[in-house]
Each structure stands twice: as structure tokens, then as C-alpha cells.
Amino acid sequence: MSKNLVQFMIEEQRQIPGASDDLTGLIGDIVTACKQIAHSVNKGALIGVLGSAGSENVQGETQKKLDVITNELFIKANEWGGHLAAMASEEMDDIYPIPAQYPKGRYLLTFDPLDGSSNIDVNISVGTIFSILRCPAGSIHPTAEDFLQPGTEQVCAGYALYGPSTMLVLTTGHGVNGFTLNNDIGEFILTHPNMTIPVDTQEFAINMSNQRFWEAPVQRYVDECVKGKSPGGREKNFNMRWVASMVAEVHRILSRGGIFMYPFDTKEAGKAGKLRLLYEANPMSFIVEQAGGMSSTGRGSIMELKPTGLHQRVPVILGSRNEVERVVGYHKEA
């Protein structure tokens, strides 16, 4: 009989030093939020949730109605359970302390409630990304500073993919497992145990419209992939993919290999990268590395970075190990 997520987490919890029922309970609350989000995404225009909300988030990005709705769903599902001390989201300027009427727990939660929301109006897969950290001992009233922990300190990371089927993929540091939502019974069932990323690939994912802004190592790598077996290229031909949804990109890499890049570029002065460290780059790096892949900024490990702000951006290169190592090698040569 296939395990559901609760059964899996109880067994997983026994392998995590110092873990308590709180972690299983927190993941249960996150699962509730993801089910609610999946329902809203699935209904789309039928319930009037498509289109712009007419507002911007702290990054200056135009919010979709579903950005606002899913952020609220995530907060409401997780604030009351007694597992969290505070939350931080892509859609909020500052942290969200757990309200005084609810008990406080030992964990911090960061999340991107609707990754790839620019795709929502054209019915392309989107997702939710989350990361769980321990609240520092003695921190009674958490501050933003308490969230500024390197990715190596993550207790759990995961994402939900709202595609043809709804999936939840997560790691607690003991490999990566995927669960598919069975709508008939309302449960996530283990369908993809021990997911691993092939070390070699013939697919790369990057936004080619930014090519003129890339640094030389990335220019060199992509040029070789595009040329393939032609002179000046590689020993094999490559295919290119680009969905503009990090969840969809990473899920494809977990399923069949590949490399995803949102590297440093000079398009916007003052921005170190496009993707946010705490609730995009770190959790996805944790998942990818637990699946045998590799992640890097091009110059060093993503998860070893000490964050300097809640919404810090970083370059991201992750996926099949041999290709990521090649890109990192080109950076070192440069």
C-alpha cells in the first residue's frame, strides 16, 4: 500500500536529530495551504482570480490577484498551529510574527506562495516554494535578523507544483521524495520516492532574451550548447527549455536532468541576481543537492551564503552536476 504524506513524515521524523511532532504538524499545515492554493489555481477564471491585483510587492513587481490570495491562504493555514514563531514571504515587506492569540513554536517559515505567477493568466504550470528554519534559541520575539541563516541550516524545503496533477516535493536532508495529490481522497500519496538527478544532460534552461547582459563565462557555456556538435561547440547537441516558473524548471530537472540558470547580469544595475535567496534559491538548492545535483552562484555555493536581507537576490545555476561544474569552471577560468 502506498504511503500518504503523514505516514511518510512520521517515519522521516524519526531520522532527524532533535525533530519533534512539531515538524510533522507544520508540514501538515503547509500541505493544507497547498491544497487550497491548488483549488484556487485550478478554478481560475471560474472564480474570478485571474488578472492583476493593481498593486506591487516589495520587489516592485506587479502582483497578480492570485499572488495576494495565495499569500493570505498560506498565512492563515500556518499561523494558528503553534509550530511557528514567524513567517517571511516574497509578497510581504517585513516578517509576519505569529499573532499573540496563537501559541508560538520553534520554527521559521519562508515561502514564495505562487512562483511563476506571470504564467497564471495563460494557464501554464505554477507552484509554491517553502523553506523551514529553526528559530534561534531564546528568540521570544523574532526579527528579520533571525531569518538570515545560510541555506545549510534548513530543516526542510519543498515545493508544490500545480500542473496537470498537483505534486508536493520535499526534503528533510534525507533525499528527495515526490507526492501526488489524489483528489478522490484529498491525500498526497508517495509516487516518486528517492528522486535523483542524472549527472549528465542535454537540456539547458535560460532566458535567452538577457543574453547581451550575461558575463563571459555564461556567454561561453550557452554558445557551446547552442552550437552542439558544430565546430566550436560540444560533443553533443542540446535542447533549450524555458517556462519562466522556477518550480516547473526544477521539477523537469528532477524528473529527467538538465541545468537551470538565472545568472548574474548587468540588465538592472545594483541587483546581484533575479531570484531571492531565502525563499527561492536556498530551498531549491537544498532539494537539488539532496537529489545528487549541484547548485552555485557561479562563484560559490548558494547554501553557504550568509544572507544580508530578507529579499536578497542571488545568481542561480543548478541541476545536473557535470554541467553545473562546467559553468563554475568557466567562472574560475575567467
Range of the domain at 248: 203-333
Q: Within this chain, do residues 188 and 208 fall inside the same structural domain, yes or no?
A: no
Asked whether residue 283 falls in the same domain as residue 137, the answer is no
| Residue 93 labeled ligand binder | no
The answer on whether 245 is annotated among ligand-binding residues is no
261-306: per-residue pLDDT in tens?
999 999 987 888 999 999 999 999 999 999 999 999 999 999 999 9
Mean pLDDT on 56-60:
54
Cβ contact 292:197 at 8 Å: yes
- The answer on whether 274 is annotated among ligand-binding residues is yes
Is 72 assigned a ligand-binding role in the annotation? Answer: no
118 is in an annotated binding site: yes
CATH code assigned at 46: 3.30.540.10
Please indicate, yes or no, whether residues 249 and 165 belong to a single structural domain of this protein: no
Domain containing residue 233: CATH number:
3.40.190.80
Q: Looking at residues 98-105, what average pLDDT do you find?
A: 95
Cell 533575479 found at: 274
90 is in an annotated binding site: yes
Q: Across the strands, what pairs with 261?
A: 317
184 is in an annotated binding site: no
* Whether residues 232 and 153 fall in one domain: no
Mean pLDDT estimate for the chain = 91
- Predicted confidence (pLDDT) at residue 62 exceeds the cutoff of 80: no
Q: Say if residue 99's pLDDT is above 80.
A: yes
Q: Are residues 188 and 270 in the same domain?
A: no
Give the C-alpha distances (Å, rounded to integers) separating 199 from 196, 256, 288, 293. Answer: 9, 10, 11, 7
Q: Do 98 and 166 fall within a single domain?
A: yes
| pLDDT tier at 22, thresholds 50, 70, 90 | confident
| Average pLDDT of span 99-121 | 90
333 is in an annotated binding site: no
114 among annotated binding-site residues: yes
Whether residues 286 and 172 share a domain: the answer is: no
Structure confidence at residue 65 (pLDDT): 80
Q: How confident is the model at residue 54 (pLDDT cuts 50, 70, 90)?
A: low
When divided into structural domains, the chain yields a total of 2
Query: Is the pLDDT assigned to residue 240 strictly greater than 80?
Result: yes
- Average pLDDT of 174-191? 95
